[in-house]
């Protein structure tokens, strides 16, 4: 732990001096099974993420090894953890088919020891509309503060039961008045900077889609393909988590692909490829002081020995950080709930 702290401190100084090279991996925290749903709160220097199949949520001071976790007792999986706009100590959490408000005061720990959180949780609603094998899988908040949650249908062994899925869209002022939009199973989503386009990744088809997005109403229309991995035979794996940078380009994690790629969705051109040490990449998020740290989640839940690399097992179930310049952006959008 002391070595990791010194490494983080070293990289912090180097970033402030502007002396880090592009693509340099800076940090690795290895405690989980399947890291996903990374949320970066740049203004408050906080990082949130989930361990999906352990039904556990985490928060971490950006740059540091101070980490708190909260286990969702009685739940089989977690999908998102996102702060409320009005209070950063309150977070919307989705688990299985439930929505919770987690009140979790921000960390005020004078040293760099790992500690377990003392939050309190309130059940907001159970979504009975879901089918018996359906659960929340992934989600984000749009520019109006609405929570978008995708679902997945799993078999008992956690494998995919169906490619058919739904988006559930929740308004923070009236959770019970949600909308349901049929779609395919989505493992990643992000919006353009002007809020007029919604991008989703469908891993089973190795495709990234774009929709026209009506910001005022939250409606989507005109689905089209903006990135097809079948047209890029040198890239392996499937598109998973995504985020948008200040140039309106997409950063996409490739699950089973040991790469993060930067794609121009207007031309389908791959701008940059970052080789990672780990094979199973899940979620991506831009954070750090200037928004130029790319956080990358990894997984060790489903392992294929034939594609594992020698260093994989040490890095799976981690949050990695890569310096990417320039890629500055604002914080991810927060939930406009009460």
| pLDDT over 80 at 23, yes or no | no
The domain made up of 2-323 has a fold known as Neuraminidase (2.120.10)
Six-digit token string for 22? 């592009």
Give how far the C-alpha of residue 73 lies from the chain's centroid of Cα atoms, to the nearest Å: 22
Give how far the C-alpha of residue 272 lies from the chain's centroid of Cα atoms, to the nearest Å: 20
pLDDT at 54: 93
For residues 23 and 292, the answer to whether their CB atoms sit within 8 Å is: no
Length of the chain: 338
For residues 61 and 27, the answer to whether their CB atoms sit within 8 Å is: no
**DSSP symbols for 276-326:** -S-SBEEEEEEESTTS-EEEEEEB-SS--TTT--TTHHHHTTEEEEEE-SS
| pLDDT over 70 at 116, yes or no | no
Average pLDDT over residues 87-108: 89
CA atoms 211, 215, 217, 218: torsion sign:
positive
What pLDDT digit, counting tens, does each position of 246-268 carry?
A: 899 999 999 999 999 999 999 99
Lowest mean pLDDT among 9-23, 111-125, 155-169, 179-193: 9-23
Average pLDDT over residues 180-191: 87
Average pLDDT over residues 126-152: 90
Give the separation between CA 170 and CA 29, rounded to whole angstroms: 32
Lowest mean pLDDT among 46-60, 148-162, 176-190, 266-280: 148-162
pLDDT at 317: 84
Share of the chain above pLDDT 70, in %: 79
State the chain's mean pLDDT as an integer.
83
| pLDDT over 50 at 9, yes or no | no
Give the C-alpha distances (Å, rounded to integers) separating 301 from 107, 202, 280, 293, 307. Answer: 29, 19, 9, 25, 14
CB proximity list for 91: less than 8 A, separation 6 or greater: 48, 57, 81, 82, 83, 84, 101, 102, 103, 104
pLDDT at 29: 62
pLDDT at 162: 63
Lowest mean pLDDT among 109-113, 115-119, 126-130, 265-269: 109-113
Give the separation between CA 64 and CA 8, rounded to whole angstroms: 6
Token pair 């594609």 is found at 307
Can you give the residue ranges of every domain in the chain? 2-323
Give the separation between CA 56 and CA 69, rounded to whole angstroms: 7
Average pLDDT over residues 279-288: 91
Lowest mean pLDDT among 63-77, 132-146, 226-240, 271-285: 63-77
Average pLDDT over residues 39-43: 89
CB proximity list for 57: less than 8 A, separation 6 or greater: 48, 49, 50, 51, 69, 70, 72, 78, 81, 91, 93, 102
What pLDDT digit, counting tens, does each position of 190-243 carry?
A: 999 999 999 999 988 999 999 999 999 999 999 999 999 999 999 999 999 999
Q: How do 147-154 and 160-162 pair as beta strands?
A: antiparallel
Give the separation between CA 65 and CA 49, rounded to whole angstroms: 14
Lowest mean pLDDT among 177-191, 214-228, 295-309: 295-309
């Amino acid at each position: 732990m002391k070595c990791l702290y010194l490494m983080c401190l070293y990289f912090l100084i180097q970033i402030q001096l502007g002396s880090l090279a592009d693509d340099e991996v800076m940090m690795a925290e290895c405690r989980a099974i399947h890291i996903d749903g990374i949320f970066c709160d740049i203004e408050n220097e906080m990082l949130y993420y989930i361990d999906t199949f352990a039904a556990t949520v985490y928060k971490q001071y950006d740059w540091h090894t101070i980490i708190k976790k909260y286990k969702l007792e009685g739940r089989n999986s977690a999908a998102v953890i996102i702060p409320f706009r009005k209070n950063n100590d309150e977070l919307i959490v989705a688990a299985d088919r439930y929505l919770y408000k987690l009140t979790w005061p921000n960390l005020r720990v004078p040293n760099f020891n790992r500690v377990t959180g003392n939050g309190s949780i309130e059940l907001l609603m159970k979504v009975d509309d879901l089918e018996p094998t359906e659960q929340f899988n992934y989600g984000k908040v749009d520019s109006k503060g609405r929570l978008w949650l995708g679902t997945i249908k799993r078999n008992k062994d956690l494998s995919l039961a169906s490619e058919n899925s739904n988006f559930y869209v929740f308004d923070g002022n009236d959770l019970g008045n949600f909308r349901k939009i049929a779609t395919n199973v989505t493992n990643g989503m992000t919006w353009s900077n002007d809020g007029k386009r919604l991008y989703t990744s469908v891993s089973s088809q190795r495709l990234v889609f774009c929709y026209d997005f009506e910001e005022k109403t939250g409606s989507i229309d005109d689905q089209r393909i903006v990135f097809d991995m079948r047209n890029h035979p040198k890239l392996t794996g499937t598109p998973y988590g995504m985020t948008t940078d200040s140039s309106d380009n997409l950063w996409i994690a490739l699950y089973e692909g040991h790469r993060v790629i930067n794609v121009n969705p207007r031309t389908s051109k791959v701008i940059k490829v970052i080789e990672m040490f780990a094979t199973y990449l899940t979620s991506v998020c831009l954070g750090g002081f200037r928004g130029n740290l790319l956080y990358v989640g990894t997984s060790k839940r489903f392992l294929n020995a034939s594609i594992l690399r020698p260093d994989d097992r040490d890095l799976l179930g981690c949050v990695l950080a890569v310096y990417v310049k320039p890629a500055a952006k604002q914080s991810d959008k927060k939930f406009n709930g009460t």
